[in-house]
Structure 1
Amino acid sequence: MNLLLLFDEDFLPDGTARLTGRRAQHAREVLRAETGETLRVGRLGGLVGTGEVLENTPGALHLRVSLTDSPPARAAVDLLLAIPRPKALKKVLPAVASLGVDRVVLVNAARVEKSYFDSKVLAPDFIQELLLQGLEQARDTRLPEVLIRERFRPFVEDELDTVFGREPLRLLPHPPARQSLTTVGIPTAPRVVLAIGPDGGWVPFEAELLEAHGFHPFTLGPRILRVETAVPVLLGQVALLRENISPHSAP
């Protein structure tokens, strides 16, 4: 935990904050924070800064808070993600929160097991806890929005433009494609939507429907990656391409 996240209900009328539960336990047992020491803190949805420890007891952590800085810049990336295996989703959700994704739509697909929809991982409280873990790791305070859709075709045909808008560059990592990610215009795109299929990939009908709705297929190379590996790799490549618009862009 690289950042203690503070919620609105943590704040007392005098502006200090009082934490209990997992966060207070972490500060006491892992950080071994003592009175007078300063911890990194951030208010959920707001600024980051420091918290001076006023008291750290087995019952609570009491902080004098100073929030002065903005959280990290957003990635300007959204995900349309076929629901992966629950164990994989437990890894993917903290990762997308850590990497600054704004919106994730978890969608059904032909190769998604129906049983996945009954998993506790899709419960709102469980999703939020996983996202909070990602924010704590990355010293961020802004939660991604997560939507769940059980019908692929109706979402693509009826909701896609509303949820993601028409302006973002739509990208489809798909093994049969031949062009690489460097050829699809990422550096000039203000926003990007990545449509990442399940283990085994999108079936032809799904890939064709996505292409018909403006998604550009590309390949990551000859290696076939699991979803929990592909998501951070893709997000990292998008970020890298944006930082290196040209070989002469650095000062």
Structure 2
Amino acid sequence: MNLILLTPEEIRDERLACLRDPRRLRHLKEVHRARVGDRLTLGVAGGGIGRGELTRLNDDEARFTLDGLDTPPPPALPVHLVLALPRPRMLARSLEHVTAMGVKQITLLHTRRVEKSYWQSPELDPVKIHEHLVLGLEQARDTVMPEVNLAKGFRPFVEENLPILLEGRRGLVAHPGMPQACPTGLGEPVALLIGPEGGFIPYEVERLLDAGCEGIHLGPRILRVETAVVALLARLF
């Protein structure tokens, strides 16, 4: 937790913040080993970042005197990430990683090689998704929450959602064996589509390319989804 992310409700006035969340209290004590008088980095969800002095810390609450939360968060990446729904444990890590890297728009997509049981996972509960996004924001000292959407049908997504998604964006499909290497240093908006473990099936690749996407690859090595996502984002931006 490189940033203590506060909700607007925890800001009592422009000079005082109070939090009672057990997870953050435990982190302050066990990881930060915080003491009254310490100055820590704080941010308010959807707002700015600043510093605050810890004035109270016990089992029930932590209080901070704020110096101001007027530093803007780091810029977002110009990407809409479309990720075939990973298995639950990998989903949790992937959400945290991409949030830390600055992705603000995420679509979780069903494809042929996605197990239907994955859609029943507790990790897709909005509360659980929110928890993973918060962890990513705290890691990267960011305050702007990503938007996560679910697309449970591949064909409806390609026919109805993808054309809208590609308006003003360059569509890139990351898949082994594509003819073009992943580009680097892009500044333009991108829609990045990444398949599941085992990749997209040929029919899915054809539909995505026909819709106007470009096929790209990361070389001959086959990477786990959570590794490929980070590698692609780092190379692209």
| TM-score bin, normalised by smaller chain | over 0.9
Q: Give the equivalent residue in structure 2 for 1:205.
A: 203
Q: Is the 8 A contact 1:11 1:17 kept in 2?
A: yes
Give the aligned residue type for 1:177: M
Q: 1:14 to 1:50 in 2, by over 3 A?
A: closer
Q: Give the equivalent residue in structure 2 for 1:245.
A: none
- Structure 1 CA distance for aligned equivalents of residues 190 and 87 of structure 2: 24
Superposition deviation, residue 190 in structure 1: 2.0
Of 9-18 and 19-28, the range deviating more from structure 2: 9-18
Q: Give the equivalent residue in structure 2 for 1:59.
A: 60
**Partner residue of 2:224 out of 216, 220, 226:** 226
Q: TM-score, normalised by structure 1?
A: 0.90
User: 1:98 aligns to what SS in structure 2?
Assistant: helix
- Structure 2 CA distance for aligned equivalents of residues 179 and 225 of structure 1: 17
- Structure 2 CA distance for aligned equivalents of residues 188 and 233 of structure 1: 14
- The yes-or-no answer on 1:100 pairing with 2:98 is no
- The yes-or-no answer on 1:50 pairing with 2:48 is no
Q: Give the equivalent residue in structure 1 for 2:132.
A: 130
Give the aligned residue type for 2:118: Y
Superposition deviation, residue 106 in structure 1: 0.3
**Partner residue of 1:190 out of 188, 191, 194:** 188
Give the aligned residue type for 2:85: I
Q: Is the 8 A contact 1:181 1:218 kept in 2?
A: yes
Q: Give the equivalent residue in structure 2 for 1:237.
A: 235
User: 2:132 aligns to what SS in structure 1?
Assistant: helix
Q: Which runs of 4+ in 1 moved over 6 A?
A: none
Q: Is the 8 A contact 1:82 1:198 kept in 2?
A: yes
- Structure 2 CA distance for aligned equivalents of residues 41 and 78 of structure 1: 27
- What do the CA deviations read for 1:126-180 (whole angstroms, capped 9, x no partner)? 0010010011111111111100111011011112233x35011110111121221
- Structure 2 CA distance for aligned equivalents of residues 96 and 14 of structure 1: 31
Segments of 5+ residues of structure 1 without an aligned counterpart are 240-251
Q: Is the 8 A contact 1:28 1:58 kept in 2?
A: no
Q: Give the equivalent residue in structure 1 for 2:3.
A: 3
Q: Is the 8 A contact 2:84 2:109 kept in 1?
A: yes
Q: Give the equivalent residue in structure 1 for 2:182.
A: 181
- Structure 2 CA distance for aligned equivalents of residues 172 and 11 of structure 1: 43
Q: Is the 8 A contact 2:49 2:73 kept in 1?
A: yes
Give the aligned residue type for 1:238: L
Q: Give the equivalent residue in structure 2 for 1:38.
A: 39
- Structure 2 CA distance for aligned equivalents of residues 227 and 13 of structure 1: 43
- Structure 1 CA distance for aligned equivalents of residues 179 and 166 of structure 2: 27
Q: Is the 8 A contact 1:98 1:134 kept in 2?
A: yes
RMSD: 1.4
User: 1:171 aligns to what SS in structure 2?
Assistant: strand
- Structure 1 CA distance for aligned equivalents of residues 145 and 186 of structure 2: 25
Give the aligned residue type for 2:48: L
Segments of 5+ residues of structure 2 without an aligned counterpart are none
User: 2:123 aligns to what SS in structure 1?
Assistant: helix
